[in-house]
Amino acid sequence: MYETERLEEPAARSESRLLLVEDDDGDALIVEDLLDLAGSGFEIVRARSLKQARELLRRTRFGCVLLDLGLPDGQGLDVVHTLLDEASDVAVICFTGLDDERSGAAAVAAGAQDYLVKGQVDGELLSRAIRYAMERRRAEEQSRQLYASEVRTQEYARLERGLLPLTQTRDPALGVTARYRPQAGDLLGADFYDVVEAPDGRVFVLIGGVAGHGPEEAALGVSLRVAWRALVIAGVDPNRLLPVLEDVLIRERRSEEIFVQATLCVIDADRLTAHLWLAAHLPPMLLDPVPTQLPGDPASLALGLLPPGAWRGRKITLPARWRLMFYTDGLVEGSRGRGLQHELGVPGLLELAQSSRAVGDDGAAVVDDLLDRVQSAHGGELPDDVAVIAVQWPREFQ
């Protein structure tokens, strides 16, 4: 038996449920009899018009639609287009007349999975055509999703390369190690970093993150990092870098709620002093010779908050041999292994650094060991993006 107007609640897709769109009672009865004789087991829901079919498609999901191309309120390819606009993921088989096979072929080109000529099918052929159409549509959808995933992955990779560039230093005695780990389950975050050595030998370090996750935030992070590198190359006064970046942020962001936290450090050419600016961001940690967390600035403002922030740099005296680790807050937002309510925090990170046997090794080994220890303490992948930059001088020291 076929039925109309009975399905009122949204339902999951049923591979055994068919929507027959046919205004002619005789033709509809023939379709029902053919499928019954073939023992297909399909449940048929009938619509007598395109309008009624659209209403049914909004209320439930069908495995396949059997579509007459000549309806009272629609003819030919317009019927196919309208139906697929309503339910683009459903399999469609079109019925044509004996003298109108061209319309069937055109319907397939427009998105239908198959067409059948009225009067030239039996129950077994019709049942098999329906199952083939559903399987073909499923394969098409899987292929489309795979392609979309591949394109999205490529786009994310391009954005990630913009967020995490190759650092530019010329001093052979300077060591730089960069690491990035995205939030659990995410392909792309919005943390960024950069290291650039100026012609006068000063080394500029930037690390930070855009509030939020996703491609828009990542693209904004890329814009800010590229703008910062251009400003450094142009020789802009370090005291002006954060204010200009804030101006770029305000002009580029889509919402006033978006802000950026960042740390800026300029290491002098003598490698014995540095200058640090914090924009509501964590200060670096001095890993060698003894792990020490540098003091923060709780009064500093993030970029993009009103009123505009005023950031003051402070001078840091460095030991003869040193390793500075700059990191985003995702590194300290994991747990300490006693339940997710116990955040690792900066003190916990400092404890892990002080107990690490890798301190004193090369920069890459130190950073990798600390990242692994933080993740192990959390019991799995960390809940937020993590970017880390370790800068050391000289490059080799024990």
Lowest mean pLDDT among 11-25, 129-143, 325-339: 11-25
Of the given ranges (62-66, 149-153, 325-329, 337-341), which has the lowest mean pLDDT? 337-341
Distance, in Å, from the CA atom of 366 to the CA atom of 334, rounded to the nearest integer, reads 19
Report the pLDDT value the prediction gives residue 142, as an integer from 0 to 100.
78
**Confidence class of residue 167 from pLDDT cuts 50, 70 and 90?**
confident
Q: Residue 217 has what pLDDT? A: 87
pLDDT at residue 331 tops 70: yes
Please enumerate, as own/partner, the contacts of 249-255 that have beta carbons within 8 Å and a separation of 24 or more. 249/220, 249/224, 249/303, 249/304, 250/304, 252/220, 252/223, 252/224, 253/220, 253/304, 254/216
pLDDT at 188: 63
Q: What is the pLDDT of residue 239?
A: 95
Q: What is the pTM of this model?
A: 0.65
pLDDT for residue 13 = 47
Q: Which carries the bigger pLDDT value, residue 25 or residue 151?
A: 25
Tokens of 196: 């650039």
User: Averaged over 157-163, what is the pLDDT?
Assistant: 62
- Here the tokens at position 32 are 């029902």
Average pLDDT on 218-232 reads 91
Choose the most confident range, by mean pLDDT, from 32-36, 70-74, 199-203: 199-203
Higher confidence at residue 299 or residue 318? 318
Position 64 scores a pLDDT of 93
- Report the pLDDT value the prediction gives residue 88, as an integer from 0 to 100: 85
Which residues make up the CATH 3.60.40.10 domain(s) of the chain? 164-393
pLDDT digits (tens, 9 = 90+) for 65-121: 999 998 999 888 999 999 999 888 899 999 887 567 788 889 999 989 999 988 888
**Amino acid code (one letter) for 190:** A
Q: Domain 2-147's class?
A: alpha beta
pLDDT at residue 311 greater than cutoff 80: yes
Whether the upstream peptide bond of residue 291 has omega within 30° of 0, thus cis, is no
Does residue 373 register a pLDDT over 80?
A: yes
pLDDT recorded at residue 6: 42
Percent of all residues in the chain with a pLDDT value above 70, rounded to a whole number: 87
Q: Domain 164-393 falls in which CATH fold?
A: Phosphatase 2c; domain 1 (3.60.40)
pLDDT value at residue 155: 62
User: For position 385, what pLDDT does the model report?
Assistant: 85
Q: Given this model, what pLDDT does residue 16 score?
A: 80
Distance from C-alpha of 123 to C-alpha of 44, rounded to nearest angstrom: 14
| Structural contact between residues 113 and 91, judged by C-beta atoms closer than 8 angstroms | yes
| Whole-number pLDDT of residue 12 | 43
Residue 37: band (very low, low, confident or very high) from pLDDT cuts 50, 70, 90: confident
What is the reported pLDDT for 7?
A: 39
Spatial strand order of the sheet with 175-181 comes to 175-181, 386-393, 322-327, 285-288, 292-293
Q: Evaluate if residue 153 carries a pLDDT over 70.
A: no
Mean pLDDT, to the nearest integer, of 361-376?
Answer: 87
- Please say if the pLDDT value at position 305 is more than 70: yes
Report the mean per-residue pLDDT for the chain.
85
In the chain, where does the domain assigned CATH 3.40.50.2300 lie? 2-147
Distance CA 165, CA 40 (A): 59
